[in-house]
Each structure stands twice: as structure tokens, then as C-alpha cells.
Amino acid sequence: MTVSVALIYPDLLGTYGDGGNAAVLAQRLRWRGYQAEVLTVPAGSPVPTSCDIYVIGGGEDLPQGLAASKLESSHALHSAVERGAVVLAVCAGLQIVGESFVGPEGKAVPGLGLLGCVTSTTPAPRAIGELLVEPAAQWAADGLDEQLTGFENHGAVTDLLPGTSPVGQVVVGVGNKDGTIEGAVRGRVFGTYLHGPVLARNPQLADLLLKWALGELPALDERYDFEPKALHAERRRNGPLERRLGGAREEASAMKARWATLVRRSREAVGAIKAP
Amino acid sequence: MPGRARLAAFVGGGLASLSRAFGRGSGSVVGGHVILAIEPQALRVFSAGRHVVLVSGTNGKTTTTKLLASALGAASGREVVTNVTGANLPTGLASSLAAARGRPSADAVLEVDEAWLARVSAQARPAALVLLNLSRDQLDRNNEVRHVAQRWRQACSELPTGAAVVANADDPLVAWAASAAGNVTWVGAGLGWKNDATGCPSCAGPVNFDEGQDEAGRGGHWRCAQCGLARPQLDVPSRDLQISLPGRCNQANALMALATLLALGYSGEPVERASAALATVCEVAGRYAVRGTVEGREIRMLLAKNPAGWAEVFDMLSPPPTPVVIAINARTADGHDPSWLWDVPFERLAGRRVVATGDRNLDLAVRLHYAGVDHDVEPDLVRAVEVKNERADVVANYTAFHQLLARLPKRPET
């Protein structure tokens, strides 16, 4: 059996590298001995209804509206979800699969209704930077118990409706709206603001989605997860610091070093004047 | 020149010299901050009465500026001032123009950050705008490439009468922005990376590219199936130029430089001199240059800071077994989010020797791991290029490139 991962409209919703999520899922299956394929579905093509997992990424306002109207009229994603398929929707993708979002004209337009969430505009500045999330306790049973790391970059805010749960609590960053909760999950539809791509930075989450699609999976040989786990640990350590500094850690330390040099040289200069 | 502007230039220039004396770089940025604080209209004041050409785009700004500066100087016989490498924000531009205030007859060719072009153009009142290409880059700062195109369109609609726009007609985002200007020279410069151009910049409808295009995206038409926005009629079609820089992207940069001369009214013998000058440029701010390491190995330096840049670099790499060292940072000038690595088809490097380095060597390592590319990881930049080989190609993004340039010795004289 070949497991199929559909990458939906990367030409419209592929701005932030989220297509990598599909590659990660397929590769983690192949490393476990499965046959896996990524089906890339450009905006002009029909969306297949028989895939196991659907991956939708982030994009810009105008293409987002176009993607939503195409998915709404084809109804293919609805059929797939009714059949039990897994959906990973990131950023603009999360907004599209919700009840409504802000269209290119600035007015609310209906989404696909696969998640109970409503996205609206905010006067707050765009949420940009490293994001760290403590996953809800309910995911631990499926193997997701480590903090999720990623990069958020969105202008709108998302409120959840009853029946849809958050992915978890924000530790560092903004998340859905105000630094409290992040993401939206209902059934097997998983929505998040985490880029990175999120599955490249959080191998546990990749395996959770695979488990939803295929049931219990054989463990992955440690050599395949060495680098993904190292990246996860490094980002968990440094990401929050970078967010608080509003930039890269290295720049902050470089600035400190420059300042120290300037102070030292000034002291030397003053000392040289005083000496005679 | 008003007294305040003179004071601004004097104090800013003085500070820049101090900064240089302290070994803190060119001082162009700190000087520019002071100049703009004293005289907020510095760009307007120091550009007044001077022929100013602004060059912008996601990729190729620095190279095209260097090519155009040497071509324009050869054609006109006048001095050309240009900005210090990378100082392409208003601060750096103010510094460069202030430093040239004693040379009023010199022309200015300045590279401008794509997000700042509209504001700079409104003050500098350029004789020409050179618009190269637009694609995803530093999305944590620029948010959406469409927003940048929108601001360019604004800049084009507000140009002084008679000002020329030289635009790459093969890039739909550029073409849409430039079509707001009155006087456009359309150039067939090609477009290798099309993933930011498949949705129409005007209506988001699907843009169809002709089958007739070559690999570099040259020689073919594009058209939006929804609103009909299409490639404009070319004034300067693509052709092969005699240049020393490698790769098709530099053919495009040189063509844009030459087209700018035509747009500025040059023809005949001066253009021939300019073409000859283009061929003499063989290194641009350390790029394409060969450096030695302490062990005497030859290191060729290439810059690629986004997927469109990488699309060009793959074809410039030396053939195997030359190792490829890739250095990735995610500092402010690079953009803090390196997820664009997943838009680069690193699968093409499978079977080669690859070393991952830079601040974000782990993000790169994971990308290569999932792409099935064997690699070594060495966080330290200099140790990473000291590979067990006589030579190596280094591909680095912006700040990693400049770190390496500062730490590697120039090629020893042999």
C-alpha cells in the first residue's frame, strides 16, 4: 500500500516553506519501510479525495482568498475529512479551514468550516517571531509531550468556537491572538500558526499526524531522528531568547561586545590623555 | 546648499571617519543616522541637480549597481558615485550622497533596498529607476512580496516627468509595478524562479507562462488567464553579452545595465565603450571571488540568500567532486526565519560532499537530511571551509557571507 500525502495549492499557499511538511511526512514513512508519495496539487488541478493526509500552507492575502473559494466550490477536502483523512493546515491554511476569515477586501468571508474558529483583523502589530507552545495534555497519549517550536508571521487573530480545542498554551510568542493559546484542532484536522516548517522542527508532531492516519507506527531508527531532535532542542533553547530580544541572539551578544570594546577604548584614550 | 545640510554632512562624515578609525566598519550607517537626524530631507538636498539612478530588486542589486556604475562611467566619461556595499537603506544612501557633495557633476548609481524604494525615490527624484525582480525574501520584515510590488507601483506612478523606468518584463510583479510609470524601457531579462509569480499581482488569477521560454525564463510570454495582464512588448530583448561574471542571472544583470544606458539616451560609440566596461567586472563585493584559507586552499565565494538566488547558484557550482560548503545565518539582514530553505531543491546536491555551517547549521542539516543529501555539520565557518580538498565552493547567505569574507585571507599572490 502506498500512503499518499496531498500538498494543496503550493502555488497559492507556499510562501513560507510549509510545503516541507509534506516532504517530512513522506520521508518519515519511507524510513519506516512504507511506500509514500507526495501528490502536489496546483491551483488549476482538481483536489483528490482519496489521499491519507492533506497539507495546506501559509500564503499571502489575495491568493488565500482564491484558494479558499476553489476549495469551497470543489468540496473535495470536505469529502476527504468526512472519510477520516488527516489535515494539517498552517497559518493562512488554518484560517481557510475555519468558519470565516478576513478576505482580500478586508471583509469577513466564509471558510471551509472544518475547524470551529473565526479569524478577524486586529489593530495590534503583526505577530512575527519565534513561537514556543506547551502542547495540551491530551496529545501525550499519542506521543506529543514536548514543547512545540516554530516561527509565527501573521497579521490576523483567531478565536476558537466550542467544540474546537487549542493545540496548546503559548509559552513565548503571540499564537492565536494574545499570547494565551495556539492553534485549533477538531477531530483529525490540525491547524497551527507554526512555520519552520512545523513538522521539520517538531518530529513528535509529525509522528502524531502519521499515527492519526495509519494507527500505531513502528519506532523510527534513532539515526534518522538524530538531527531533527537536535534542531528541536536547539530551537527550544534559543528561540525564546531570540523572540524576547526581538532578533537573533548572536546580534545581541555582538552588540554587547561592541559596547564593551568602545568603553574599553574610551577608557584607554582618557588614560592616555591623563598620563602625562 | 542650505547650511543645515552642510552641517549634517560635516558631522555625519566626521562620525563616519571616527567609526572607521575605531575599526568599526565604513561608518556609513552611523554617519547616515546623524545626517538624517540633522537634515531629514538629506536625500532630497544631496540629490538635487544630480543625475541619480536607483537600482532595486530582490536579487542582483549590488551586482547590477556595480555593472551599471562602470558602464555609465565608460559611456559618459564622468565620475560615478555609488553606495558602500550593502548600505542600501536611507542611512547608507544619505552617507554616500553627502560624501559626494563636493563633486556635483558626478552621476550617482545607487542600490536601494526593495522595501524602501518608494520612500527613497520620492526624495531622490531619480533620472531612472532600474527594477530587476521581486521574490520572497526576509518575510519577517517584508511580510508579503505583493506589498513590496504595491509600493513599487506607487513609486512608479509618482516619478518626475521624463524619468525613465527600466523594468524586467519577464517578471509579472515587476511588470505590474512598472506599468504605472509613463516612460518604461521593457527588458527581456528572464525569470528563473517563478513561484512568486504564478498568481497575478493585479487580480490573483493564474498566470500562464509560455512553453517557448528557455530555462532562464527568457524569450516567452506570460499572461493572466483572468484579467489579461500580460508581458509588455519588449524594447530590449534578451541577448548574450560578453561578461566575466558567471551564470545566467549575471547575463540578466548586465542586460539591465545596458538597457539603462539606452533609456538614458546613450547610443553608438559610448554604448560600445560601456559594453567593454561590463566585461571587465569580475568580482562584486567579494562574490565570485576566489579566496585562500590558512591552509592555502582555494575557496570560491557565492552568495545566495533566498530560493530565487539558489535557483541561479546551482548552475554556477563547480562539478563534483568539488565539495559545497553551505553557510546559513538568520540574523536581521538575513530574515529571522530560515524556513525558505525548504523552497530550495537541495535534492540536486545528492551524491556530493556537502558541509552545513553558520548560526543555523541545524536547520540546514535537517533540510539536507530529509532531502537525502549526505552532509557534515561544522558550526564554525572557517573550520567548515577547511575541507580535505584543494578547493571548495562556498554558498552563503548575507551575514554569513560577510562574516566569512572578513575571516578568510585574500588569495595569496602566486
| Inter-chain residue contact A16 with B339, CB threshold 8 Å | yes
Same domain, A254 and A147: no
| Inter-chain residue contact A63 with B24, CB threshold 8 Å | no
Which site among B339, B347, B357, B363 would you substitute to test the A interface, given the most A Cβ atoms closer than 10 Å to its Cβ? B339
Of A234, A167, A154, residue with least CA distance to A205: A167
Say whether the peptide bond before residue A240 is cis (omega within 30 degrees of 0).
no
Q: Compute φ and ψ for A10, nearest 5 degrees.
A: -65, -20
pLDDT of residue B407: 86
Who has greater pLDDT, B86 or B323? B323
What domains sit in chain B, N to C, each tagged with a CATH number?
A: 41-280 (3.40.1190.10), 290-407 (3.90.190.20)
Say whether the peptide bond before residue A197 is cis (omega within 30 degrees of 0).
yes
Same domain, A23 and A114: yes
Of A238, A242, A135, residue with least CA distance to A192: A135
Cell 516548517, residue? A197
ipTM of the complex: 0.90
| Across A22-27, average pLDDT | 98
| Inter-chain residue contact B140 with A128, CB threshold 8 Å | yes
pLDDT of residue A247: 57
Per-residue pLDDT at B81 exceeds 70: yes
Task: Tell me the average pLDDT of chain B.
Answer: 88
Same domain, A178 and A253: no
Concatenate the DSSP letters of all residues of B55-73 into one string: EE-SSSHHHHHHHHHHHHH
Read off the pLDDT of residues A101-114 as tens digits, 9 standing for 90 and up. 998 788 899 999 99
| Inter-chain residue contact A151 with B195, CB threshold 8 Å | no
**List of residues 6+ apart from B385 with CB closer than 8 A:** B293, B297, B299, B325, B355, B357, B392, B394, B404, B408
Per-residue pLDDT at A230 exceeds 70: yes
Per-residue pLDDT at A209 exceeds 90: yes
> What is the C-alpha to C-alpha distance for residues A77 and A68, in angstroms, rounded to an integer?
11
| Amino acid symbol at B16 | A
Who has greater pLDDT, B340 or A106? B340
Q: Which grid cell sits at B260?
A: 539603462
Residues 105-124, chain A, touching B (beta carbon < 8 A): none
Of A66, A59, A73, residue with least CA distance to A14: A59
% of chain B with per-residue pLDDT over 90: 57
> What is the C-alpha to C-alpha distance for residues A60 and A11, in angstroms, rounded to an integer?
11
Q: Compute φ and ψ for B48, nearest 5 degrees.
A: -55, 135
Q: Which of A76-90, B251-265, B282-296 has the lowest mean pLDDT?
A: B282-296
Same domain, A37 and A130: yes
Task: Supply the pTM of this predicted model.
Answer: 0.85
Concatenate the DSSP letters of all residues of chain A into one string: -EEEEEEE-TTTS-TTSTTHHHHHHHHHHHHTT-EEEEEEE-TTSPPPS--SEEEE----HHHHHHHHHHHHHH-HHHHHHHHT-EEEEETHHHHHHSSEEE-TTSSEEE---SS-EEEE--SSPPEEEEEEEEE-GGGGGGT--SPEEEEEEESSEEEEPTT-B-SEEEEES-TTTTSSEE-EEETTEEEE--BTTHHHH-HHHHHHHHHHHHSS-PPPPHHHHHHHHHHHHHHHHHHHHHHHHTS-HHHHHHHHHHHHHHHHHHHHHHHHHH--
Per-residue pLDDT at A248 exceeds 80: no
Same domain, A188 and A264: no
Domain membership of residue A222 as a residue range: 2-240
% of chain A with per-residue pLDDT over 90: 77
Q: Does A129 touch chain B (CB under 8 A)?
A: yes
Per-residue pLDDT at A240 exceeds 60: yes
| Across A245-273, average pLDDT | 67
Same domain, A209 and A267: no
Same domain, A192 and A75: yes
Distance from CA of A17 to the nearest CA of B (A): 5
Confidence tier at B413 by pLDDT (50, 70, 90)? very low
The most confident of A41-55, A250-264, B208-222, by mean pLDDT: A41-55
Residue B410: strand pairing partners: B291
Contacts of A62 in chain B (CB under 8 A): 146, 199, 203-204
Read off the pLDDT of residues A162-176 as tens digits, 9 standing for 90 and up. 999 999 999 999 999
How many angstroms separate the Cα of B303 from the Cα of each of B9, B63, B89? 33, 11, 20
pLDDT of residue B414: 41
- Out of B22, B204, B341, the one facing A66 most closely (by C-beta) is B204
Read off the pLDDT of residues B374-408 as tens digits, 9 standing for 90 and up. 999 999 998 998 876 678 999 999 999 999 988 88
Concatenate the DSSP letters of all residues of B145-173 into one string: HHHHHHHHHHHHHTPPTT-EEEEETT-HH
| Inter-chain residue contact A231 with B198, CB threshold 8 Å | no
Same domain, A183 and A260: no
Same domain, A133 and A190: yes
Same domain, A31 and A166: yes
| Inter-chain residue contact A23 with B370, CB threshold 8 Å | yes
Q: Find the CATH number of the domain harbouring A220.
A: 3.40.50.880
Contacts of B330 in chain A (CB under 8 A): 248
Distance from CA of B371 to the nearest CA of A (A): 8
pLDDT of residue A159: 97
Of B299, B295, B172, residue with least CA distance to B232: B172
Distance from CA of B378 to the nearest CA of A (A): 13
Same domain, A253 and A120: no
Is A101:A119 a contact under the CB 8 Å cutoff? yes
Concatenate the DSSP letters of all residues of B241-280 into one string: ---SS-SHHHHHHHHHHHHHHHHTT--SHHHHHHHHHHHH
- Residue A99 — left, alpha, or beta (φ > 0 → left; ψ -120 to 50 → alpha)? alpha
Distance from CA of B150 to the nearest CA of A (A): 13
| Across B22-44, average pLDDT | 77
Residue B15: strand pairing partners: none
Q: Number of structural domains, chain A?
A: 2
Per-residue pLDDT at A256 exceeds 70: no
> What is the C-alpha to C-alpha distance for residues B103 and B79, in angstroms, rounded to an integer?
9
Of B342, B274, B343, B347, residue with least CA distance to B308: B343
Q: Which residues of A256-267 are buried (b: 16+ CB within 10 A; e: fewer)?
A: eeeeeeeeeeee
Same domain, A254 and A118: no
| Inter-chain residue contact B370 with A27, CB threshold 8 Å | yes
Contacts of B203 in chain A (CB under 8 A): 62
pLDDT of residue B65: 96
Q: Which grid cell sits at B309?
A: 538566488
Of B177, B225, B150, B200, residue with least CA distance to A12: B200
| Across B355-365, average pLDDT | 97
Q: Does A228 touch chain B (CB under 8 A)?
A: yes
Confidence tier at B213 by pLDDT (50, 70, 90)? low
Q: Which of A77-86, A249-258, B181-190 has the lowest mean pLDDT?
A: A249-258
Per-residue pLDDT at A6 exceeds 90: yes
pLDDT of residue A105: 80
